[in-house]
Amino acid sequence: MAGIESRWRHGVTRRKALRGLAGFLAGSPLLRAQQDPFRDHSRIPAMEELADVFDFEAVAYEKLPRQAYDYTGHGTESEFSLRRNREAFDWVKLVPRAVADVSAIDPSTEVLGVKMPYPIMIAPTAAHAQLHPDGEAAMYQAATAASNTLFLMSHNASLPFDKIAAASTGPLWFQLYARERLEDNLPFLDTVQTAGYRAVAITIDQNASVYERQQHNRHFSAPGGPGGRGRRRGRPEPANPYRVIPGRLWYNWAFVEKLRPHLKVPLLAKGVMTAADAKVAVETGFEGIIVSNHGGRAMDQGTSTLEVLPEIVDAVGARVPVLIDSGFRRGTDILKALALGAKAVGIGRAVRWGLGSYGAPGAQRVLEILQGELVLAMAHTGRPTLKSIDRTLVRTDFR
């Protein structure tokens, strides 16, 4: 009996056994395999800790599903156009005035009847519900809270257009992917005009929308989009041999003449990248130009929007306002575009990072950071108003 009691007293207790098992499991490669090795599993910072727009991307990467992050973050094919959009800002240098009265900075402007406290707007991007349950309604609330920022709503929104319009009170425009049959466009136009959208922008820069390889389908297309596991059931394969989706291959300028009588609001062309197209757009009846390469998601091996901006501004003169998007992340980026002739700048990925990170307050904070950075850049360069900003502010070395 004494031997049994001794073994009981000095043997492994249940507590020690469980502690040892827990230690084994904690160090097991089987458990480590359940973690994403590409993510940092450290603490998510509070929004107040983030210093600039780029910080929001890291938080969005941690908090969003991989598919949602990839859809936002990546570009088409080799991503040359995506990278060039950012690289172009390094080819434009700011030249400050040595002495200027910048005691009061006024960055306000007006575009097609919309008064803007800052020359900053939200560019159209699709499927905000993959970033936040309230989708575009949350983004619209963020835009209004951030000094009534203009929101250009995507045709591929997650929510009904009238429901989005009812979510807040700021200025709204609508981005249209035109349908070949005129009557197929009218329900969209009737809905948004009745709901109070104050302009329509037709996208013309993504005629041949396709992601050829399965990897691209998986990472670069939205849920339910072309190819990959998100493909809608029963969707037929494109009839042409290159698997290019035929829905937009019919685009032509004459279509605008048919569409115009059904619009009571200004019409803009989004996706203009050459002076020649800008001239035709104005002659066709467009009342505004948006210089855009779809954020590097439409065509690979293209130019950046910033480097083609001056020639487009020169081509249209003062006849219509020229706006721009694709690649903007800093207040100095915005200032450079203004110096090269843009009337306002659209922000796409950056506000998506904000929405995906912290919801509407996150998107609002991204806009406020950009607004503050722009004001600071104007003060540093001695340009107190937008009228004082011209090409003497910059030196360009586009490559």
Report yes or no on 250 lying in a domain. no
Report yes or no on 12 lying in a domain. no
Q: Which is nearest to 147 in space by CA: 176, 123, 114?
A: 114
Per the structure, how many domains does the chain have?
Answer: 1
Average pLDDT rounded to a whole number, residues 198-206: 90
Q: Left, alpha or beta for 147 (phi > 0: left; psi -120 to 50: alpha)?
A: left
Report yes or no on 253 lying in a domain. no
230 has a pLDDT exceeding 50? no
Report yes or no on 42 lying in a domain. no
Q: pLDDT digits over 276-319, tens only?
A: 999 999 999 999 999 999 888 888 888 999 999 999 999 999 99
Report yes or no on 329 lying in a domain. yes
227 has a pLDDT exceeding 60? no
39 has a pLDDT exceeding 50? yes
Structural domain for 149, as ranges: 47-231+263-396
Q: What is the pLDDT of residue 22?
A: 76
CATH code where residue 85 lies? 3.20.20.70
Report yes or no on 119 lying in a domain. yes
Average pLDDT rounded to a whole number, residues 43-64: 93
Report yes or no on 25 lying in a domain. no
Decide the pairing of beta strands 150-153 and 120-122: parallel
Look at the pTM and tell me if it is higher than 0.85: no
Average pLDDT rounded to a whole number, residues 78-84: 89
Instruction: List, by residue number, the catalytic residues.
Output: 294
Q: What is the pLDDT of residue 78?
A: 83
Report yes or no on 342 lying in a domain. yes
Q: What is the pLDDT of residue 253?
A: 87
On average, the pLDDT of the chain sits at 87
Average pLDDT rounded to a whole number, residues 374-397: 97
324 has a pLDDT exceeding 50? yes
Q: What is the pLDDT of residue 204?
A: 87
Band (41; pLDDT cuts 50, 70, 90): low
Q: What is the pLDDT of residue 220?
A: 46
